Structure 1
Amino acid sequence: MKFRKAMALLLASTMALSMAACGGGSSSSSSDSSSSDAESTDSTDSSDSSDVTLSVTIWDSNQEPGLTQIMNDFTEKTGIKTKVSVVKWDEYWTLLESGAQGGSLPDVFWMHSNESERYMSNDMLLDLTDKIADSSEIDPANYPEDIWGLYTYDDKYYAVPKDVDTIALWYNKTLFDEAGLEYPTADWTWDDVTEAAKKLTKDDGSQYGLAMGNGSNQDGYYNMVYDNGGYIINDDKTQSGWDDPKTIEAMQTMEGWINDGVMPSLETMSENGNDVLFESGKVAMITQGSWMLAAYRDNEYTAANCDCVELPKSATTGRRASIYNGLGWAASATTEHPDEAWQLIEYLGSKEAQEKQAELGVTMSAYTGTSDAWAKSADFNLQAYLNMMDDMVIRPYSRSTVTWENEDSEIMKDVFSGDKTMEEACKAMADQMNECLADEQ
């Protein structure tokens, strides 16, 4: 069977990742796995589907409570039950690949732009094209065109947009007050961030101005690159932009932060996570995606001490861009319940469910005009995220995104250690990425 053969090849390439930079591996890691299950309330619906329980897998535990409420609504309407499993990002793709090899993928699951083309091109996802065409709930015109593009292959749809995300600057009001500094505003530039970070960093290492790690791409340095007129990948996905002078110039701002010691060590950021450091008051500023709202809202410290504002802009170009992305709800090509899986996906993408997702503060919704409710779902300046939609750049991707992004992160470590200058690292990232893109042609 083509599906099984494709998965065997994918698993083999995963094992070869450490030996070949462009071998097409996955984003799995050896970190401990953590999962939790949530089952929707049973319905007394007497339809034929009432005996079906769909397995649903996601990777963000912060979103699980709200999504479970929405799936409970679905069960009440249809009688179809759901069982939600949460698996950490580091383990998620390993789980899917193993499930595909054994023919036991979840019925419904999240799909990401990093992996979508690989899954679509290997017939692992249920073709939703005809179902979308016949749907009264899903009209592609009601969602961002770029998000649909992430989940379209050979003119066929393989997922329905779940959300849209932008990036903003979070800051600790208490630490700013203690330093006698004004809070960041929408008029700030990246130069303002640099100056504030220096004043917010303590010599004894107990507090740092900001945090941005070697892998902080979509929610970090990618935004700076596009602000400055640089780019990561060209429009036809044949050439890396890492060696563009404007890209290098933007990244040298981050090199300055490293050299000035206004960020924790790479080891500290890797062990704790930038979000954990921010939530514990060890870091005064962090750039973060809208998907982190639930975590910061439900954390007692950040709820009391922190807020967000639009990203800074480039002092050179005046541009303030946000890298954006969106997840998709997809179904297994081999699910035993394709009709029920589609009913769930159709409901999750409907205006009704998308509005509730926003109202519950799960995340910004993909359905046009539904995210205003999200901005009012917590006591933060969440309008900043909506304002960042004025200038959005779709998250750079290609067929081998995971491969070249993982290698970029490894190369970036050399800048933190002082083994490479940022210019040297950017040129090395361009070389390896161009090799990967050449292999895609």
Structure 2
Amino acid sequence: LPLDDLMTEAGVSRGDFIPALLSIFTYDGKTYALPKDWGTLGLVYLPEAFAAAGISEPTADWTWDDLKAAAEAIAATGQYGGFCQNADWARFAPWAFGNGGVYASDDLTTAMVDTPEVKEAATYILGMKDAGALVTASDVGAGWCGEAIGKKLVGMTYEGGWMVNYMRQDYADVDWKAVPLPTGPKGKADVIFTNGIGVNANTKYPRAAAAFAIFLTGRQNQAEIVKTGFAYSTHPDQLNLIQDPNDAAIAQGGTFDLTRVAYWGPNTGKVNDAVSQALERVYLGDQTVDESFAQAQEEIQTILNEQ
């Protein structure tokens, strides 16, 4: 159900929300859902790993090359894995976006992974893996890379604001920090995770349902969500509610010029899975980057054609 008239009646406007979040719920200029909350990624790291390697800690102006050099130095200590990243579309997205790549065209009709921009990003992280600077969580005996930080198995990883409560609850004695993601060759980029609340077009109670959606996505409820550390408010004037410095550093990724919501249409999940599978084939050495992403290009094009 388009919400625009009901939003106006409730005194709510599209301008109340972060534009990048609202865009994926907009069709033909009409608003079909309101963004409930969002999250993004940051460079999470262990200060003690940097001390062991005798190198400076990350800063907000780091580049890919800075991350690679630090990962190599940390790995060389033999005490930690350098940088942890699984074959995962979400953690790969900032690399692709930061090199000017995307997974599909803006009109959601054309696969875009068999491109120099995406394949250069994949080749870069594969180079780190081949050099021993990049490890997966399973390589170091962890279930996921956030756990690898908590167990002090790796020096760095890309993770989100969920790390704040996770570390507080499970690894309260571990000193960790976060900074925004490193800058790519084409600029600063991150990936946004979000969801929206809409109203069934067939509902018998459109006004009541819309009122509920507007309340859940409103400033009062969003402020309570921020307090939990689970996610960030979709209202730009509430970003200052983020109190934890690591959480605030991670949230900066939402403001980067090349940051995107990884939405590619109704079959977004299948598109993203195809990217993860392409990375998995490369990680395992089953295919080269060119071969794997050529296959993914065909798979994603078929997926988009079915939308």
Q: Structures share a fold, TM > 0.5?
A: yes
Aligned to 2:6: 131
Bigger Cα Rg: 1
- Superposition CA RMSD, Å: 2.9
Aligned to 1:150: 24
Hey, what's the Cα distance between the residues in 2 that align with 1:332 and 1:393? 27
- Of 137, 152, 168 in structure 2, the residue corresponding to residue 281 of structure 1 is 152
Answer whether contact 2:22 2:34 (CA < 8 A) is retained: yes
Aligned to 2:283: 416
The 5 Å alignment of 1:214-233 reads 214-215=87-88, 217-218=89-90, 220-233=91-104
Residues 335 and 262 of structure 1, relative CA distance in 2, 3 Å threshold: farther
Q: CA deviation at 1:183?
A: 0.2
Aligned to 2:39: 165
Percent of paired sites with the same residue: 23
The letter for the 2-side match of 1:351 is: R
The 5 Å alignment of 1:25-424 reads 128-136=3-11, 138-153=12-27, 156-201=30-75, 207-215=80-88, 217-218=89-90, 220-265=91-136, 267-268=138-139, 272-301=143-172, 304-314=174-184, 316-317=185-186, 319-330=187-198, 341-374=209-242, 376=243, 378-380=244-246, 382-383=248-249, 385-386=251-252, 388-391=254-257, 392-424=259-291
Residues 131 and 388 of structure 1, relative CA distance in 2, 3 Å threshold: closer
Answer whether contact 2:41 2:190 (CA < 8 A) is retained: yes
Aligned to 1:102: none
Hey, what's the Cα distance between the residues in 2 that align with 1:159 and 1:225? 28
Residues 334 and 178 of structure 1, relative CA distance in 2, 3 Å threshold: farther
Aligned to 1:17: none
1:102-126 CA distance string (max 9 Å, x none)? xxxxxxxxxxxxxxxxxxxxxxxx6
Q: CA deviation at 1:155?
A: 5.3
Hey, what's the Cα distance between the residues in 2 that align with 1:321 and 1:428? 26
For these two proteins, the number of residue pairs brought into alignment is 306
SS in 2 for 1:365: coil
SS in 1 for 2:237: coil
Residues 344 and 146 of structure 1, relative CA distance in 2, 3 Å threshold: same
The letter for the 2-side match of 1:275 is: G
Answer whether contact 2:119 2:290 (CA < 8 A) is retained: yes
1:174-223 CA distance string (max 9 Å, x none)? 2211222210112211111111111212686x6311111112x23x2211
Q: TM-score, normalised by structure 2?
A: 0.86
Residues 334 and 292 of structure 1, relative CA distance in 2, 3 Å threshold: farther
Structure 1 unmatched runs, 5+ = 1-125
Q: CA deviation at 1:156?
A: 4.8
Answer whether contact 1:168 1:388 (CA < 8 A) is retained: no
